[in-house]
Chains A and B, each alone.
Chain A
Amino acid sequence: MTLRRRVARGWLALALGAAGLAACGGDDDGAPTLVWYTNPDNGGQATLARQCSDASGGAFRITTQVLPNEADAQREQLVRRLAAKDTSIDLMSLDPPFVAEFANAGYLRPITDAADVAAFTDGVLEAPLQTASWDGQLVAPPFWANTQLLWFRRSVAEAAGVDPTAEDVTWAELIDAAASEGKRFGVQGRRYEGYMVWINALVSSAGGAIVEDPGAGAEATPALDSPAGRAAAQVVADLARSSAAPADLTTAGEEEARSTFQGDQGAFMVNWPYVYAAAQASVASGAITQETFEDIGWARYPRVDARLESAPPLGGINLAIGSFTDHPDEALAALRCLLTVEAGTQYMLESGNPAARAAVYDDPAVREAFPMADLIRDSIAAAAPRPLTPYYGDVSQSVQRSWHPARDVDPLRTPADTASFMRQVLAGERLL
């Protein structure tokens, strides 16, 4: 008897718990609550969510759910939820390379109203705009955009007699300059997405592409076995075998590169603009001196071929509406509030993440906070997106696997090997 009663009590507790959980999802005041899955930032997206909730006049409330730090992990969580048709994903902050995969799987709700399309795309810089559509439909308008710059230590560049701000400065010249001064060139060489960012920028700068017809999905043609692919491999191999290679080249991400660059050995680095604010913070915390901070200069991403303009990396975040949301109209209304020039300006100032719209860079406050505002804008506009393919994970990981570690990259062999490996992976004949 007592046992039966105990069991009954257990079931009751379970039922109550479930009811309690269900209540969490309910709306107390009638206005639907939109959940916005955001990448981690310093709280800028949460602020915007609050402001847009207030501005909606009670039509909806936006709450934010923060995704993991790494882009790969963000994608994993979103894919798993969306594959299970999670209705709680009303809005999501999406890394541009994943847009094609998500849209192709039917996870993103297309934006079809012409007025909305115009409002979300007018004045958006060229490269981020390319990542916003799939199959001729706008699915993920850019929220902010990012690019990498060449960062240099003025003293080292001067001593080596090289001008990193010259239009046609190349990787080869900079690597030699760093080596001649006994200094290091910080890059992202760990086996992760950041390494793919570097390789994609090198291949694009040399006038090539990693995949020829990325839209074809599994039938896409790998294009690395080309003069551009070999030129890119040459840069990676040259740096890896030069004395300018940091000791942690094969394990370095953005932060490790920054730490090398800010240290005694630093000469050059390619990295996102956040490093500028981070260097300021390092001065404040006493990690580096004001003198070191003033020694830091910036320039356009270096060229692979002196005759070809460089194609810098493209990053950033696009906003998308989940296909399975219960509140598509409110989600669209929220986008109208989140994707204005004003919101972009505020977000850039507050979080340090560059805007996707050109107009933001004319704002005096932005120009004051970002002395390199024009450079960032032009670099974003000229940037090369990573291949827009639904099989992006396969493409990216087969490149990372074949090109890591950097010291084993052979310009004559690696690009060709990568192309055939990628072909087999896409055909399901090889594991990745």
Chain B
Amino acid sequence: MNTTAIRSRGRSRGLSGATGDDATVTGPVRTDRARHERRLGLLLAAPSFLVMVAVTAYPLLYAVVLSLYRYRLTDPGGREFVGLRNYATVLSDPIWWGDVVTTTVITAVSVAVELVLGFAFAWVMYKVLRGRSLVRTGILIPYGIVTVVSAFVWRYAFQLDSGFINQWFGLGDFNWFGGRWSSLFVITLSEIWKTTPFISLLLLAGLVQVPHELLEAATVDGATARQRLQKVILPNMKAAIMVALLFRTLDAWRIFDNPFVMTGGANDTETLSFLAYRQNVSLVNLGAGSAVSVLLFLTVVLIAFVFIKGFRTNLGQMKGQR
């Protein structure tokens, strides 16, 4: 039997074991118990759902309304309805598109590197036999540090007057924060250092869910380590990988602290959240600022939508495997 067969066997076994407990899937058979559980689930979730609506829907709608005005907090008399003009201004502005590029670069690079590194760390945490808690704690420490603090630490390490990086690597007077790409390098590096533990934690959760018997069967069938990884482990971890990717992508997309602390947005290192912050908080330009916020929100929804689209099919695949 080859490994593909193992996979399909696992899948069919999983499907036959499903009881339709996923409320969003309209299965042909729905037992009384499932219906009851579904109702209980909704009841339990209802209070937090209401609170969520109260604290997020109102500000969201208010932001949409504000975005239709030319409105400066310090110039209340000058408030004027301008329709969609703020959106036109934002979307035709090179600053917005420059920030889109910066945010995309940081997100793509950091998430890609973190996924690979995070998997390696998850593997280590999974496999290590001695001092397991020590290793796990060690790997998780960066995630426990406040982002602003870690941003300052990295900034001081790379800064010309207080930094030691240039001395270590013999870089002389190289000003890391003096150019766009070198600044983005430090920002992304700090981001990776800080959040790889998070992704590895999510991947570890996926890793422990890979059924042992499948791995054993694959080993018995003579699959190499590489084949086991590619054909057994990774396919069975798809849901965990998707969750990790979704969380981290959304997180990275909203990056603010690192550029704020390290460069203040200079040298084209400003991100989209930073732009929204500057418009709304520094310039108190609530009209254009709200337009930026609403657009940022739409990009977040888009990312979530794309991921959940891909995520749902995989969840169906994973059902019942525990």
Interface residues of A, Cβ cutoff 8 Å to B? 72, 76, 79-80, 83, 101-102, 104-105, 107, 190-192, 217-218, 247-251, 256, 259-260, 390, 393-394, 397, 404-405, 428-432
Contacts and interface: CB of A to CB of B under 8 A. Distances in A.
Contacts of B278: 432
A431 B178 CA distance: 23
A248 B178 contact: yes
A250 B74 contact: no
Contacts of B175: 247-248, 250-251
B178 A405 contact: yes
A79 B73 contact: yes
Contacts of B279: 431-432
B283 A390 contact: no
Nearest to A392: B74
Given A79-B73, A247-B173, A397 B283 contact: yes
Main secondary structure of the interface of A (DSSP, over half): helix
Interface stretch (B1-9, B113-121, B264-272): B264-272
Contact of A72 (B70, B265, B282, B292): B282
Nearest to B76: A105
B74 A79 contact: yes
9 contacts: A104-B74, A191-B264, A248-B160, A248-B175, A250-B177, A251-B178, A397-B282, A431-B93, A431-B96
Per CB-CB distance, the 10 closest pairs between chain A and chain B, nearest first, are: A247-B173, A191-B266, A105-B74, A248-B160, A431-B93, A431-B95, A250-B178, A251-B177, A259-B161, A83-B73
B187 interface: no
B161 to A, nearest CB: 5
Interface string B168-185: 000001110110000000
B153 interface: no
B266 A190 contact: yes
Interface in B178-222: 178
A217 B75 contact: yes
A82 to B, nearest CB: 9
Given A101-B74, A248-B178, A259-B161, A428 B89 contact: yes
B74 A102 contact: yes
A431 B263 CA distance: 19
Given A79-B284, A83-B74, A431-B93, 7 more contacts: A76-B281, A105-B73, A191-B265, A251-B178, A393-B284, A429-B89, A431-B292
Contacts of A101: 74
A191 B178 CA distance: 11
Contacts of B234: none
A249 B292 CA distance: 32
Contacts of A256: 160-161
A391 B161 CA distance: 35
B122 interface: no
A88 to B, nearest CB: 19
A190 B278 CA distance: 17
B90 interface: yes
A255 to B, nearest CB: 8
A428 B284 CA distance: 13
Given A251-B160, A256-B161, A428-B70, A404 B283 contact: no
A56 B76 CA distance: 37
